[in-house]
Structure 1
Amino acid sequence: MKKLLTTLLICFAAVTSSAADKPNIIIIMTHDMGFSDIGCYGGEIETPNLDMLAKNGVHFSQFYNTSRCSPTRSSLISGLYSHQAGMGLLTNDQGEHNPGYRGRLMERCVTIAEVLRPQGYLSIATGKWHMGHEKKEWWPLGRGFDRFYGCPQGGGFFFRPSSWGNRTVVRGDEVIYDKERDPAEGWYATDAWTDEGLKYVEEAVAKKKPFFWYLAHNAPHFPLQAKPEDIAKYRGKYKAGWDVIREQRYQRLVKLGLIDENHKLAPRYKHVPAWDSLSEEEKDTQDERMAIYAAMVDCVDQNVGKIIDSLKRLGVYDNTLIIFLSDNGGQSEGKRPLGFNRGKGAPGTAESNTHYGTCWANVSSAPFRKFKNLIHEGGISTPLIAHWPKGISASIRGSIIKQTAHVIDIMPTLVELSGAQYPDKHKGHEIIPMEGVSLKPLFDGGKIERSDAIYFEHTGKKGVRYGKWKLVCTYGLKWELYDMENDRTELNDLASEMPEKKAQLAKMWEAWAARCFVKKAKRTK
């Protein structure tokens, strides 16, 4: 009996030690935030907490998303290309004959939460889901998460769900706010997603369980709505105008080492007027719009600070991996270069519907060309910060990782770090193998080896990144070819000079598209 008791105690101690050794994981994703908006990526918006994470962790100069919200989220959470997960577009189901466009996470993929569950993780999702909302089994609790507080649909609100279509806020699988029921005065989405998630983190720590928290902000996506005190902080700071601010960001990016000085700042987008051509009244309006946007990003950073403080208080800061990224580049949706406010209330309020327009999206995505929805660098390049005191080598902290990486790499990274097993089958369904590679060697100062290219497709826009080469096209136009080592901002198209390289990469893209359920698109020359 004594021997049996001793054996049980040893086994219990081993399990407890194993759980303690597993890293806690927090993924923080912003929505429609450009490459150069935050301080450590050259921006003038005050983000001291994110800057600290970059200074004491690592940050990436060539990390890619899929160019739009739902596809990026599905790639992140599944480790697959978005079409393989069923989300080649948004949440509209295009039918069984289009398996890459079913509008939800399909049974042929698993989520990070489903993979981590056997390792004893408490998995938390707060914020925007937008990966299937019509049935509760498509919500986070149906896909491996233990706790959920957020919006099953897309974002589009900050003070009140009732201000934006059919949006709801759910706790678990119960709707608590909708068009008939609004939260109390003072509720603000960015704060709420964080505060509720921290409650679940405390629960996990109390239970001595490792936790995985997917915190998906709807900020700074339109409509631009922010707290008055945060807006006031930035009012007047953007009257220098987009031409000056883009140049300032570019100079800081070069100084920080995120952009080589040989990579020139892309010119102002063709539909954006020169700042000096605006009237004083127009300049004031534009300053206000960007001030609201900056306030929303600032609020995200404030909440990162709350997370850091809580992790330290709970004694789990050193063994928590924090990953921060955005789902796509700056958004120019709305089809008005100067933006607009179509709402009934003053810009920034719950009754407003304000967009900041192509003019400021061109700043958010600086130094690159193009925007959200497009496969040029302005649409697919995102900041990526990784901070983990216990797991990132002290010798590389504060450094910039210049190897290319993609959201499909997050799943294999977490599988390796947690000791989890990625399944061949789940709930009776065959599971597609992971597409990405683990980034763990980079945390140790090493390199990653990728056997294939990185591929892109969204509504007919296409791209391939293979080594230093990038092939890209828009809406069936001609392929463009860029040498990313010497021309990261895509200003010198080499397609006509290097037809064999263009043909090689185009053939690779066609093979990938056929394998990964990409809808047959018009062949590109």
Structure 2
Amino acid sequence: MIGSVAIAADGAKQPNVIFILADDMGYSDLGCYGGDIETPNLDKLAAGGLKFTNFYNTARCWPTRGALLSGYYAQQIHRDALPGLGGGGQASRQNWARLLPDYLKPHGYRSYHSGKWHIDGKVLDAGFDRSLDMRNQGNFFTAKGNFEDDKPVTPAADESGYYSTIAVVDHAIDCLKEHSDKYADQPFFHYVAFIAPHFPLHALPEDIAKYRDNYLKGWDKVREERFARQRELGLLHTSLSALEPEVGPPYDFPEAIKKLGPGEINRPLPWTELTDEQRRFQATKMAIHAAMVDRMDHEIGRLVEQLKAMGEYENTLIFFASDNGASAEIMVRHGGHDPSAPMGSAASYLCLGPGFSSAANTPFRRHKTWVHEGGISTPLIVHWPAGIKAKGELRNTPGHVVDIAPTILDAVGVEKPTEWDGEAIPAAPGKSLVPAFGEDVAIDRDFLWWLHEGNRAIRAGDWKLVAAKDDPWELYDLSVDRAESNNLAKQNPEKVKELEALWNQQLEASIELAKKTVKKPAKKK
């Protein structure tokens, strides 16, 4: 037993692990987190397992992915920038900053990757046995630019039936079938990383049709309805954040607004202030976003059915999360945008924008890139019939993607090594969430920490100190105010000073670790 979770009783095979990651999906997009999008397969996993209510990512795609698979804050392993030191999407991890497959392989695990990578280095060099690396993230309707097993993919001559969300699971199922045929005596780890619902908003016409008129009610009404369902589900004890009409996209691309036409708007204004053309344009963008989430859920259902066909469903630990909150970005990249093309088709290039991003992130403030709750909060579903007795229960302990690697190692009974290739492996901040699998207990930790593009935050207990770039610190009591509506900084200056000192302490520690050449351990005599 590890905590209250059975690992491999009666000589049973170690559990398989699947981590499913969405891209730019909001906290409230899933039905089981209060959303209006049809997500029956994820809802079933939640009903048969656990829903974490206070789980966090890093506010951006590449830092989250590095942190998730390593157990370190992205800044510590050069996967996000530090003041005066650099780091980020183009930087490389230290040799000791290994990813999960390297720790699992010596214990008999085979590892597979299907979907987005966005971590430094080649996938197979990181310990994976097979990979579909979807480097083409600008067109959901072609495989052009993708890599399989670190080699360029040759797209089919006729790609009329291609859609990347389906292709992710086609590859995942192919890996699982091969595993069942050739390696059935070994456990597996599978990292399934969808691009959806990241921009460009591309979806199948039949999926868009399901939602085409659903959002004409506007983002104000959608937020209210989602929040009411969240309260009914007992997910949150907070107010609904106010829309911030002055807060637009994190990056300014005025030329994109011109290309997108008069239907586009880059502020979450009251719905009643929009023109009819703007309301239809915005509602259709949200319909495409919903279609992308719906299709992702449908494909996850196919993945689950494959596990059942293999007889591995009961003994597979499945996680689901999003790499950051929904995005307020508005831009036109890659092939550009044809305003005469059907919205959601390959010739269009659309982004969700701050209006419906606010709805997707209900009930929280801000969006992807910010480290207010809207940028960093994600659903976390955990499902494992053989190891978790609880069904449909909530877990309220704060957690972070740095916890995923130690949680998986703990759950499968693997002890992380203390050195790699003769180098000592430094202590990592991630904590195992396994104790919370059995009951709703708090995971003991000093704090959780964030820094991205000058946006910064720290959470210690229920206190959160947060600031957007160049703004003063704000202080919130998250036990009653995850909407970050009541800034308590002026009333509690000592708490601000205390948390700021902690934030700076972690910043300095991260800089030292990122700069440090780890000494080789002394040779044993």
Coarse TM-score class (shorter-chain normalised): 0.7 to 0.9
Q: Does 1:54 align with 2:37?
A: no
* Structure 2: segments with no counterpart, 5+ residues: 1-7, 246-266, 515-525
Question: Pick from 304, 309, 314: which aligns with 1:308?
Answer: 304
Paired residue type of 1:370: R
Q: What do residues 365-392 of structure 1 show as CA deviations (whole Å, max 9, x unaligned)?
A: 1111100000100000000000110111
Secondary structure class of the residue paired with 2:511 = coil
Instruction: Give me the whole-angstrom Cα distance separating, in 2, the residues matched to 1:53 and 1:115.
Output: 27
Instruction: Indicate the SS of the match to 2:153.
Output: strand
Matches within 5 A, 1:171-210: 171-177=148-154, 184-206=159-181, 207-208=183-184, 209-210=186-187
For 2:368 and 2:508, the matched residues in 1 are separated by 24
1:285: how far off? 1.6
Given residue 207 of structure 2, which amino acid in structure 1 is its aligned partner? D
Which residue of 403, 417, 420 corresponds with 1:409? 403
**Equivalent residue runs for 1:194-233 within 5 Å:** 194-206=169-181, 207-208=183-184, 209-233=186-210
CA distance in 2 between partners of 1:231 and 1:328 (Å): 23
3-state SS, counterpart of residue 494 of structure 2: helix
- Separation in 2 of the partners of 1:189 and 1:101? 22
CA contact (8 A) 1:408 1:435 kept: yes
- 1:100, 1:346 → 2: CA distance? 36
1:34 aligns with 2:17: no
What is the CA distance between 1:452 and its match in structure 2? 1.8
How big is the shift at 1:341? 5.3
SS at match of 1:456: strand
1:299 to 292, 295, 312: 295
Deviation at 1:307, TM superposition (A): 1.1
Could you tell me which residue of structure 2 aligns to residue 157 of structure 1?
A: 139
Q: Answer whether contact 2:242 2:485 (CA < 8 A) is retained.
A: no
Task: For structure 1, list consecutive stretches of 5 or more residues without a partner in the other structure.
Answer: 1-14, 133-137, 163-167, 521-525
Q: Does 1:356 align with 2:339?
A: no
2-structure distance, mates of 1:420, 1:314:
24
Contact 1:321 1:388 (C-alpha < 8 Å) held by counterparts: yes
Residue aligning to 1:8 = none
SS state of the match for residue 451, structure 2?
strand
Taking a change above 3 Å as real, the CA distance of residues 437 and 220 of structure 1, as seen in their structure-2 partners, is: same
Structure 2 CA distance for aligned equivalents of residues 416 and 492 of structure 1:
38
The CA RMSD over aligned residues, in Å, is 2.4
Identify which of 69, 76, 91 aligns with 1:77.
Answer: 69
Aligned partner of 1:146 in structure 2 is 129
CA–CA distance in structure 1, aligned partners of residues 344 and 422 of structure 2: 48
CA pair 37-518 structure 1, distance change in 2 beyond 3 A: farther
- Please state if 1:466 is matched with 2:466: no
Q: Determine helix, strand or coil for the equivalent of 1:62.
A: strand
How far 1:277 moved relative to its partner? 2.1
1:502-521 equivalence runs, <5 A? 502-517=496-511
With the length of structure 1 as denominator, give the TM-score of the two structures. Answer: 0.87
Counterpart amino acid of residue 129 in structure 1: W
SS at match of 1:125: strand
Q: State whether structure 2 residue 423 is matched by structure 1 residue 441.
A: no
Q: What is the alpha-carbon distance in structure 1 between the residues aligned to residue 367 and residue 391 of structure 2? A: 31
Residue 16 of structure 1, CA deviation: 13
- Equivalenced residues, count: 481
* 1:67 aligned partner, one-letter code: A
Distance verdict in 2 for CA 1:423–1:126, change over 3 Å = same
3-state SS of paired residue (1:462):
strand
- Give the conservation status (yes or no) of the 8 Å contact 1:118–1:420: no
* Structure 2 residue aligned with 1:454: 448
Contact residue 85 and residue 109 of structure 1 kept, 8 A: yes
Once the two structures are overlaid, the 10-residue window that deviates more, 408-417 or 197-206, is 197-206
1:60 Cα offset (Å): 0.8
| SS in structure 2 at match of 1:415 | helix
Moved more, 51-60 or 275-284: 275-284
1:66 alignment partner in structure 2: 58
- 1:371 aligned residue: 367
Q: Residue 95 and residue 61 in structure 1: after superposition, are their counterparts in 2 closer, same or farther (change >3 A)?
A: closer
Q: Output aligned runs, 1:420-435, within 5 Å.
A: 420-435=414-429
Name the % identity: 39
